[in-house]
Amino acid sequence: MKGKAVAIGTFDGVHRGHVAVLEKLREVASEEDLQPVAITFDRHPLSLIAPQRAPKAITSVERKAELIRRHGVTPVIMPFDEKMRSTTARDWMRMLHDDMDVKALVVGYDNTFGSDGVNMSVADYRRIGEETGIRVEEAPYVPDVSSSAIRKAVAAGDIALANNLLGRDFTLRGIVVAGNRLGRTIGFPTANLEPAPGIEIPGNGVYAAMATLPDGSKHPAVVNIGVRPTVRRGNALTIEAHILNWKGDLYGHEIKLAFHARLRDEVRFNSIEALRQQIEKDSRQAIFSLK
C-alpha cells in the first residue's frame, strides 16, 4: 500500500486558497509516488472549543468531501472531539507517521493544527517533521482569500465577491417544502427551500441562480431570500426559487442552487400586479446574466 501525503484543515468552502494547498499536495504526492489525502473534520473546531463563536458553514461536510475529490485528493473526515482538541502538533505528526504511513505534509499560509499549534510556524512543523520522518512543504499563498471573508460576503449578499474568492458560484442545497402557494396563483410558482441547519445563507435580496434538479437537469432560476414584504406573513425567512422553463412537483426532493448574481434588494410593492411585473423583469435579467 502506498504511503501518503496529507494536508490538514477545516477546508470550509474549498476556496481558492484551499485549492492551492490541494494542488501543492498533489504535486508533492506525485514526486514521491504517494497518495494525496486531505484530513478534515466533521465540524468546525470552534463548535467544541467556543460554541458561541462557531461560524456558519459555507459547505456541508458531504459537499466539502465532494469538492476535495474533484481536485484528485482523497478526503478523510475525522471527528473533532475532546481527544483531538488536546492532541499536540507533535503527537499529531507521530500519529500520522505511525498510524497512517504519512511521508509528507503540506501546510498552507496561516494553517495550523495541534492544541499547541496556534503559535507555530512552518519552520516549527518542519522541525517536528524531521524528528518524526515527515517532509513538510508549504503551499503558495493566495492573498485576501479566507473562509471568514467568504462568509461575510455571502451574509452581506455580495455574491460577486463570494464567487470570486471561492473560484466558483456559491451553492446552497436543501429540501423543497410546502409554502403558501401564492406564486402559482400569479403565474410564478416557487420551490421553497429548507437548507441544512448551520449553513450560511445569502443576505436578503433577489438573485440569479442555476438550479440543479433531482434528475440532474439545470435550469435558470430567480431566487428571493427574505420575508416577502409584499405578501408578508410573519417574520420567517424564506428561500423561494422560481425555476424558469420548468413545471413539476419537487416537494420532498433536494435541489441545488448555484448563485450567480444579485439582481436587486427585496422590496415591498404596492400591488400583486406590480410584484408580478417585477418578477417578469427579474426572470429576463436572470436568463441574461446566466448566459
Q: 188 with 288: CB under 8 angstroms?
A: no
Could you give phi then psi for residue 105, rounded to 5 degrees? -130, 130
CATH number at residue 53: 3.40.50.620
Residues 12 and 118 occupy one common structural domain:
yes
Q: Is residue 109's pLDDT more than 90? A: no
Q: How far apart are CA 26 and CA 68, in angstroms?
A: 12
pLDDT at 234 over 60: no
pLDDT of 65 reads 97
Same domain for 203 and 111, yes or no, is no
Instruction: Name the residue range of residue 13's domain.
Output: 4-145
Q: Measured at the alpha carbon of residue 17, what is the angle toward residues 210 and 167, in degrees to the nearest 5?
A: 20
Q: Are residues 139 and 57 in the same domain?
A: yes
> Residues 17-45: pLDDT tens digits?
999 999 999 999 999 999 999 999 999 98
Q: Determine, yes or no, domain membership for 102.
A: yes
In a domain, 154, yes or no: no
Q: Are residues 183 and 285 in the same domain?
A: yes
Q: Are residues 113 and 198 in the same domain?
A: no
DSSP states along 137-197 = EEPPP-TT--HHHHHHHHHTT-HHHHHHHHTS-EEEEEEEE----HHHHTT---EEEEEPT
Co-location of 173 and 136 in the same domain? no
pLDDT, residue 273, reads: 86
Rg (CA), the chain: 22
Q: What pLDDT does 276 receive?
A: 86
Total number of domains constituting the chain: 2
Task: Tell me, yes or no, whether 261 lies in a domain.
Answer: yes
DSSP code per residue over 226-251: E--GGG--SS--EEEEEETT--S--T
Instruction: Compute the distance between CA of residue 212 and CA of residue 174 in angstroms, rounded to an integer.
Output: 11
Are both 274 and 225 inside the same structural domain?
yes
255/138 same-domain check: no
The answer to whether residues 86 and 139 belong to one domain is yes
Say yes or no: 57 and 176 in one domain. Answer: no
173 and 102 in a common domain: no
Q: CA dist 155 to 81, 203, 268, Å?
A: 28, 5, 21
Across 99-127, average pLDDT? 91
| CATH number of the domain bearing residue 191 | 2.40.30.30
Would residue 151 count as lying in a domain? no
Q: Are strands 74-78 and 35-41 parallel, antiparallel or unpaired?
A: parallel
The model carries a pTM of 0.92
Of the three residues 110, 130, 145, the one that is the final residue of a domain is 145
Q: Is 180:239 a contact under the CB 8 Å cutoff?
A: no
Q: pLDDT category, 183, cuts 50, 70, 90?
A: low
Instruction: State phi, psi for 171 to the nearest 5 degrees.
Output: -120, 150
Residue 57 lies in a domain: yes
In a domain, residue 268? The reply is yes
Is 160 within a domain? no
> What residues have CB less than 8 Å from 41, skipping those under 6 apart?
10, 77, 78, 79, 80, 84
- Residue 26 corresponds to which cell in the numbers above? 498533489
Same domain membership, residue 283 and residue 195: yes
Query: Is residue 187 pLDDT above 60, yes or no?
Result: no
Residue 150 is assigned to a structural domain of this protein? no
